[in-house]
Structure formats: structure tokens, C-alpha cells
Structure 1
Amino acid sequence: MAEPTEPATSSPSETGPTQPPPWDSTTVVHPRREPFEHGLLPIPKLIFSDPTQTLIHLKKKLLEQSSNNRVDSDAIAESLQISIEHATLVINTLASVLPSESEPLVNFEPGENDAVGVDVFDLVLFLYVQTYKKLLPRTHKDSASVSDVWPSTSAFDGYLSALSPLQLVRSNSRRFMPSQVDEEAHQLSYLQKHLANILSLLAEPVEVEGEESLVLTMDKFEHLGFLLHFGNKGSGGNSLSQMSPFFANSDPDMPAVPVPAAHVHDWLLQSIASALEHISERTSSKENGAASPSDQDVSMTDACTVKVSTSTRGTSFIEGISKSSCVKHASDIKGSSIKVLNCQESTIYILAPLRYATVYGCSDATIVLGAVGKAVRVEHCERVHVIVAAKRICIANCRECVFFLGVNQRPLVIGDNHKLQGKLGTFSKEDARKR
């Protein structure tokens, strides 16, 4: 697929408030991981060779069909030339990664989402992110000799995962797998590269002194909260507009004056550049032996003595548990999401309400996840039993795994999977109330 052409970056405007925020923990820009980790779909027709022009045309077409900027699965299916089933999958997946709990789409049952529809501007951002490519693991020196043991050429991930989870553990997986800091830098770099195109999907044309210019209203600016946020609280923090120099302290009863898109572009570019510089400095400091307590790449090899490591933005990590049992309750976990990484021959219980959960690279283990309100992703696992109650689950590139699922939506199984087994139960809000 050809990379989208990025418009030339203009120099910062002298009249616009383009300075990045002062450096402290509450004003650092971060990517929202949810769209990149739980929002990608293996539907070829959602990958556009020229996403900007395609989505601008799609946005215009959908807005003409709607009186309130919201569209249903029929409109999406017709506009994108996809099936109703795929259009419904788009809506349900988008609902699971939206940042605001006040968004009407989030609070409807999966089968009832067409009653409220999806916001067109959220939809085009979601579709643009489908161009994102995950950060690849570093190549193993002997990948050719093991490729026949763990074949998983995935049309979804686009690369050959040469090592099985167990082989990854035995070969010191941390040398090959990207760290959380690596992934954040990769996501920020993606946003940095595509920012001008993304803003063009939200901006509105106006005529200024006889020339057409693009501006962003406060409402359209808030949609950027789908992709990034400021501070350590993630989606639970302040609204994006209140963290900006353009709309901070705006009177809710008085519409804010639209801002030139070029000013927003320059300010966000500088904010992202500052964040990337900080990540680079933090990585260098860690390599020199001065790691911060908030570093997220803590390897946990002794389940009896270690605690869950928690990032400052609300993600907990259980990593490297081997031949042990691990039980974590709500009081043990800080934040709303968890990642279980590279565990083997263990039994792990996560008995806490969560929004998101990821199980990656585990083998010969039993993992119990309870009450995941948004989405679960199980990827590159081998001979793992997963017992989970969740709204939705995605299973990718797994082998000889057994799943016991209580989910609201049909499981999404993608990539190269071998010999999966499972029992499926579906539950609605009405079922939960009866219980």
C-alpha cells in the first residue's frame, strides 16, 4: 500500500498561539492507545491508497445524507461498498474505543447501535487510523529455521512472526518485542506524520480576505481526543479543548471563535515533538541506569514477590510470570486496563473490573479475566486457556488455545490461528440485571 502523501509543514504562524505546553506531567501529550491496539480491523476495503481524499469525499457524502452528523450501518455499508455485517463491526469496534462515556453510541446495546448512529467525524478518524502499521518485533537471528515450527504469516499484521511464544520466552523475548515506550513513540510519530491530513478531515473552509482558509471549531477540535490526550489520566482527564491555548476557559454558553487549522497544526506538532524528545531522554536515562519508578518495562519473573507494574496513565502490566499462580483483585490494580505479557506455565486470575485487557505472547497458561467493559485482545498465544467475561474479544495469531467466553458481541478471529477451541455465551445488559 502506498503511503499517504503528507502536505508540506508550514512554518509556525507569528499570530497564532503555537507554543507547546510547559513541561510537566499534566501537560504532556500522549497517543490514545485504544484505537491503535483495539481499533484496527482486517477489512481490506478500509485500507485506502489515498485516505485523505477518499475520506474527505466520504465525509461530504455522509453529511449530505444526515441531518445530525450521525449515520447508521446502511449508510456506511453503501458508502464504503462493504457488507452490512462489516459495517456493523465498524460501528461496534468504534464504540469500544471512543474516549467519552457520554457519547450516545457507547451506551447502546450492540444490536441497537443503528438507533443512535455513529458521528461522521469520529468515523472518518477511525477509518484513517486503519492505515496505521504496528511496530514490528526485531528479527530473530535464526528466524528461517523456526518459521516452519510457528508459521503465522498474517494478512492483518503484515509480517512473519517467526518464534512461538515459548520460543520467545526461551530466547529472552525482551530483546525482540517492542517496549511500551517504543510503541508510544511509534504512535506519536505516526500522528506527527499524518497530522495535517487528520486536521483536514475536521476543518471547515472559510473565505478570509478573498482567499479560502481552513478553520477548526471547538467541537471539531474535541474530536482529536479520539487520537491523543494530555496528562497522565488518559481518557479520564480534562477535555482536549481545555488543555489547549485556543479554547481553554471558553464559555459553554458562548460559541468559541473558530481557530485557523494551521495554528492548531503548528501547536500540536511542537507538542508531539516535545513529547518525543522527552521519550528519547527517558530512554537514554534508563539505558544509563537511572530508570524512573514509572517506567513500564518492568520484567516480573517471580510472581510471589513482585507486584503489578502500573504506568502513570492507567495501564497495569503482569509480565514474565513462570510456573506460578498470580491473583490480582481490584485493590491490586491501578487504572482501567491491563496487559498480561509473556507468561508461561502459570495460572493468572485478574478479578477486577476493567475497560481493556490484552493477553500477549503467553504459553501453557490459564488466564481468567473478569468484567472487561470495552474490549479484550488475545494475540500470539500458545496452548492457553482463557476464561473471560467481556463486551467484545479479538483473537489474533494463536495456536491450540481454548476460550470460555461470556461476551456481548461475536468474537473477532483474525490472522493465522491453529486448532482453537471454545465455548461461547452471550450476555446483554438485561441478562446482567436478571442475574
Structure 2
Amino acid sequence: MDECVEPSTSSPPTAPPTFSLHIRREPFEYGLLPISKLIFTDGTSTLAPLRDKFFQLSFNKDSFSLSSSSLRIDASGISQALEISIENAHLVLDTLATVLPDYGDVGLSDPLVYAKPDEIDKIGANVCDLILFLYIQSYKKLLPRPHKDSASIADVWPSTSVFDGYLCALSPLQFVRTNRRFMPSQADEEAHQLSYLQKHLPNMLALLAQPAEAEDDEAMVLSVDRFEHLGFLFHYGEIGSATMPLSQAVPFFANSDPDMPAVPVLASLIHDWLLQSLSPASEFSPEKVSAKENGPPSASDPDVTMADACTGISKSGTTPCGNAAYSRDQTFVEGISKASVIKQAADIRGCSVKVWNCHESVIYILAPLRYAVVYGCSDATIILGAIGKALRVEHCERVHVITAAKRIYIANCRECTFFLGVNQRPLILGDNHKLQVAPYNTYYTQLGQHMTQIGVDPNINRWDEPLALGMIDPHDSLSHPAGVSDVQAESASCLEPDNFMTFVIPRSLGDNMPETEKRLEHNPFRLPVAYEASQKKKSMVLNEIKQALIEAQLEENRKRELNSALHVYFKEWLYASGNIRQLYCLQGD
């Protein structure tokens, strides 16, 4: 029998409070849109005039804003200023709302953080947040290090595919397969983001700053209100905890009187303080790798030198490299093969989960999350409880993903099926083939509580409105076949109602609610008529078979033979489908 991974039942160890300044990963991982008109590579020369245009088209939302002088802009204004479709302008607003910092307080957080889907355009985006959001659209992801030996080339990820030999050798998915061991780790990516912000921080501050009021003074200053918007890029707080407003971290605005605005501070002083206070990239790295081992710096982003930003990657186990920095605010489920894994709320560190390099397994993440990533998995079923911000699924094959989430990104996947309860349109990015989407198809007793906790609305499900944004992701540093940019991106089709089935989660998993609390006993998302009719039809056929067996006039020896035959066929199905592993794993819990 395959080795099973036992679910954890104890809470993660608590570390002493450590308050520090870090880069926020979320804007780079969930906030980049492959829309060419949003990408400006010339620093402030284009964005400064665009910022002024935003201000001209903006409107006051004093009752919602962090400061009485805050100006906001809706989708119509964004569409006009950027010369993009109103649909893409709404997408900009929705994406910005997904990656804004959540301070855990309605009064401190931007109103978009807690906005319902139909309120986002009415509230609009703060112009300062929007400018920072547009600036980082020029970011390019880190290029994987090249392989060094023939064994690396022979390591095909994750298994033989029916598509092998069909795509160009330079397609992103085949590149990832060939170089799986050398894909950038979480530490690599965070170091790359740090280097990018260190390089571009002066330009970003210039876009937020205002001229000093003193006569003949060309210095640029930041008010406390504008300084707070840097929280879009930087996290300050206890490691693994919710972030706090940046003004609580800097000495410039500390203990200022709320009835008397703090004096603006020179942008140059804030720049120096940020660079000195940012935790170094080495904090994310279990070990340093020399420039010789990593090869030349990536040519995809000439502004950033990556020689010291790259690190090694874990090759085994479920905790990458055994380094606590990897789980600063994220839980990893890594390298699971032919097993079942159960993670409940008590097992999750932070509010983010990454499931990667898992094959022929069933992964249960029955917890409320803000963000989640599923990367490099195959032939697996992955159930993610409730996700309040976004789920990203990349480079997966023959995977079934079940989730209740605000939003889902799907990139470079093949033959995958997604059972969705989503409040926003599913985004299909990159090179995908034979994807299917279907209504949400499961429940567990705490699901309703988890959805309420992180703000997923069960009355809105846009599972059947996938939006394909393009074959090429301009943020991706991987090479692409010549002419592929002219190919229309493939979207997802809807699963046929006759092939739709409810996925049953064992009641014992995650069922630790008190008897007095309300339990969820059914799918929280209403099924479309065709899918509900299909379910009823299957249930009716099953009941008819049961009734026929009960009413069958058989002698006792014939009943025993029938019962034995049913058990044999059921056991054969368990082994043929691989579900016998899951049965043993869950039984051993």
C-alpha cells in the first residue's frame, strides 16, 4: 500500500513577535494582467501625464477614503484614460481590489477590499493605488536557471502527455517540464521582487509625491495620506500576521495628532528609510548560490541584476528546504504522490496556501484562505475550502480543482476540470488545452462558516463566463514559439450536465463544529437547471435500483451470491480507479 500522509491536528508552533518590513507578494502573483495597453516600460514619462489625467477624471469619495483629499476613478474613467474597453477597465478594478492590502479593519483598509462585486465600480479605485498597480505591470517574472546535465533534460515533468510532440519545443509548458528542478523557488521570486522595487522605488515615489509648499523649493514631499498607499507594495507587521498601516512603522509620522495633519516628509528621506528598513533578500534564502552556478543575469529585465537573488530549490519533502522564511505567511503542500492529504484551519500558517508538484493524489484544504496557488500538479483532485481573494492554477495536467472563491486564474493547463463557485469571471491565461468548467459540486460542514468569514457570496456564481485574455503573458520571461502571439487563446468549455457529479467529502474531515452551530448540509451555490435535473435523474435511477434489489424475490443463497458479486465489482472499481488509496488513507486517520 502506498504510504499515506497523516493529517496534522496540532497548531503550528508560535514564534516570538517579529515586526519587520517586507515586499508584498500578492500584487506580483495575482495583480499582473496580460493586457498590452496596461504595460508601460518607460518609467514616469508616460505614467506621470496619465496620473494627471486620472485626477482630472476622478471624483471625491470622502465617505469611503482613507483621507478627505482622496480622489477615486471608476471603470468609465479608466477606460477613457487608458483607451481600453469598458470590460477590461472593470477587470482592472476587480484585479486591484483583489491585491490591495487588508488591514483587518474596515476603517483602515481601502473600501475596495471589502466591496461586494456589484459595488466595485461605484466605489472606484484610489488614483494613487491605481498608479502603483499600473507601474508594476512592467514587472517580468524570473527566468528559470538553465539545466546543467543530461539527467536534467531526461527528467520530463510530470509524466508522458498526449500533447507531447504536438507543441513547439519552446512552448512554456514543455520548458517547465524539462526544467522542473530549476524553476524559481518562492525565495527566488521574492528576491527578484525585492530587486525590482529597489530599482524602481525612486520613480514610484516621484509619482506619489507633491512639490513642497515653500517658495523656490523644488523638493518633492509625501503627505501621510499618500505615504500610506505604499502599503500596496510593502508589508509591515509581525511575521505571519495581518499587515499594519505603514505610518505606524516610520518615525516621520509617529504619534501625529489626528486633528492636525502631519507635516509632509521629503520623498528622498522616505526612500532612504524604505531601503534601510526592508528585510534583505537573504532572509528568504536557505542558502546563497553563486553567479557562476546561476549563469548570466536574466536578459528579460535589464534593470535588475539577479546574480545574488537566485537560490536553491527543495527537491523533496513537504516543507521547502526546512527554512521558516518560506512559510512566513504561507503554507506549503509539496511533493505528494499517490496519497491523500488533509489540511484544516488549525494546520494553516498565514492566510495563503501553495500546493505544488503533487501527483495522483487527493488534497483536501478545508480552511478559509485569502490566496492559494496550485502549481505543477497532475492526475490529482484538489479541494480548496473558501478563498477570499484569488486562486491561481498553473502548469497542471488532468487535475480536478474544486473551490469556492472570489476569483480564479488558470494558466498553461491541460485536460483539467474546474468545479467552481466564483464571484468573478474565471480568467484563462496563456497556452491551455481542453479545459472544462462546471458548477461547484461539494460541501462540508464548515464551508458556510468559512465562506462568510472570507466574504465569498453564494448568491453569485460566474463559473460559466470564462474570459481568455491571451496566448502570451508579457510578464513571463519564458521564450515562446515564433508566431504564437497571433494564435487565439483557447478558453474553457462547460462540462456536460450528464457528466456532472457531486463530490462527497467524508463528514469526519474538518467536522469539529459544536452541535449548537449551524452546519452546512448541501451545496451553497444553486445548481443551474440542467445540472440539477441531471443530479435528480441519477438519484432517481439509484433509488430505483435499490428498491428493485430490496423487492427482489430471491432465495437466501442467491441473495448472498448477489451481495458477494456487488462487493467484488466494487472492490475491482476501487483498485482500477485508484480510490482504494484514498480509502486506506482516510481510514487510517
The one-letter code of the counterpart of 1:178 is P
* Aligned residues of 1:232 and 1:312 also touching (Cα < 8 A): no
Consecutive unaligned residues of structure 2, counting only runs of 5 or more, are: 1-15, 61-70, 157-162, 290-310, 442-450, 461-519, 525-589
Equivalent position to 1:283, from 281, 287, 295: 287
1:402 aligns with 2:417: yes
Distance 2:414 2:73 in 1: 38
The 5 A counterparts of 1:231-270 are 231-233=237-239, 236-270=242-276
Summarize the Cα distance change of 1:215–1:365 in structure 2 as closer, same or farther, 3 Å threshold. Answer: same
SS in 1 for 2:383: strand
Equivalent position to 1:136, from 130, 143, 160: 143
* Aligned residues of 2:101 and 2:243 also touching (Cα < 8 A): no
Distance 2:129 2:166 in 1: 38
Distance 2:167 2:95 in 1: 28
* Aligned residues of 1:310 and 1:334 also touching (Cα < 8 A): no
Summarize the Cα distance change of 1:409–1:354 in structure 2 as closer, same or farther, 3 Å threshold. Answer: same
- In structure 1, what is the equivalent of residue 172 of structure 2? 160
Q: How many aligned residue pairs are there?
A: 388
Summarize the Cα distance change of 1:301–1:271 in structure 2 as closer, same or farther, 3 Å threshold. Answer: closer
* Aligned residues of 1:180 and 1:296 also touching (Cα < 8 A): no
* Aligned residues of 2:112 and 2:123 also touching (Cα < 8 A): yes
- In structure 2, what is the equivalent of residue 124 of structure 1? 131
Equivalent position to 1:411, from 395, 420, 426: 426
SS in 1 for 2:437: strand
- In structure 1, what is the equivalent of residue 492 of structure 2? none
The 5 A counterparts of 1:170-249 are 173=180, 175-233=181-239, 236-249=242-255
Equivalent position to 1:87, from 79, 89, 98: 89
TM-score by length of 1: 0.81
- In structure 2, what is the equivalent of residue 65 of structure 1? 57
* Aligned residues of 2:129 and 2:232 also touching (Cα < 8 A): yes
Deviations 1:313-341 (A, max 9, x none): 32100000011110111111121010001
Q: Give the greater-gyration-radius structure (CA).
A: 2
- In structure 2, what is the equivalent of residue 388 of structure 1? 403
The 5 A counterparts of 1:305-344 are 311-344=326-359
Q: CA deviation at 1:48?
A: 1.4
Distance 1:194 1:310 in 2: 25
Equivalent position to 1:52, from 16, 26, 44: 44
Distance 1:39 1:389 in 2: 20
Summarize the Cα distance change of 1:399–1:430 in structure 2 as closer, same or farther, 3 Å threshold. Answer: closer
Summarize the Cα distance change of 1:393–1:161 in structure 2 as closer, same or farther, 3 Å threshold. Answer: same
Q: CA deviation at 1:228?
A: 1.0
Summarize the Cα distance change of 1:152–1:420 in structure 2 as closer, same or farther, 3 Å threshold. Answer: farther
- In structure 2, what is the equivalent of residue 13 of structure 1? none
Q: CA deviation at 1:345?
A: 1.0
The one-letter code of the counterpart of 1:240 is L
Distance 2:200 2:252 in 1: 21
Q: CA deviation at 1:300?
A: 5.3
Distance 2:258 2:409 in 1: 39
Distance 2:185 2:333 in 1: 14
Q: CA deviation at 1:265?
A: 1.0
The one-letter code of the counterpart of 2:427 is L
Distance 2:378 2:132 in 1: 35
Summarize the Cα distance change of 1:271–1:309 in structure 2 as closer, same or farther, 3 Å threshold. Answer: closer
Distance 2:168 2:376 in 1: 13
Q: Which protein is richer in strand relative to its size? A: 1
Equivalent position to 2:459, from 422, 425, 431: 431
Consecutive unaligned residues of structure 1, counting only runs of 5 or more, are: 1-23, 286-294
Distance 1:429 1:253 in 2: 38
1:110 aligns with 2:114: no
Deviations 1:179-213 (A, max 9, x none): 22111111100100000011011101124451321
SS in 2 for 1:351: strand
Deviations 1:244-292 (A, max 9, x none): 12112222222111000011111212234x6135456x5249xxxxxxx
Summarize the Cα distance change of 1:77–1:357 in structure 2 as closer, same or farther, 3 Å threshold. Answer: same
Q: CA deviation at 1:395?
A: 0.2
Equivalent position to 2:384, from 369, 394, 403: 369
Moved more, 109-118 or 400-409: 109-118
Distance 2:426 2:183 in 1: 26
The one-letter code of the counterpart of 2:142 is L
SS in 2 for 1:382: coil
* Aligned residues of 1:151 and 1:161 also touching (Cα < 8 A): no
Could you tell me the percent identity over the aligned residues? Answer: 58
The one-letter code of the counterpart of 2:418 is F
Distance 2:50 2:57 in 1: 11
Deviations 1:329-364 (A, max 9, x none): 111112101000111111101000000000001111
Distance 1:201 1:425 in 2: 43
SS in 1 for 2:174: coil
* Aligned residues of 2:420 and 2:437 also touching (Cα < 8 A): yes
- In structure 1, what is the equivalent of residue 575 of structure 2? none
Moved more, 257-266 or 140-149: 140-149
The one-letter code of the counterpart of 2:117 is P
Distance 2:52 2:390 in 1: 31
Q: CA deviation at 1:369?
A: 0.6
Q: CA deviation at 1:106?
A: 2.0
Distance 2:168 2:196 in 1: 26
* Aligned residues of 1:308 and 1:332 also touching (Cα < 8 A): no
Deviations 1:62-116 (A, max 9, x none): 1122242111100000100100110000000100111035321122222331111
The one-letter code of the counterpart of 1:45 is K
Moved more, 183-192 or 45-54: 45-54
Deviations 1:383-430 (A, max 9, x none): 111111100000001111111111001100000111111214699737
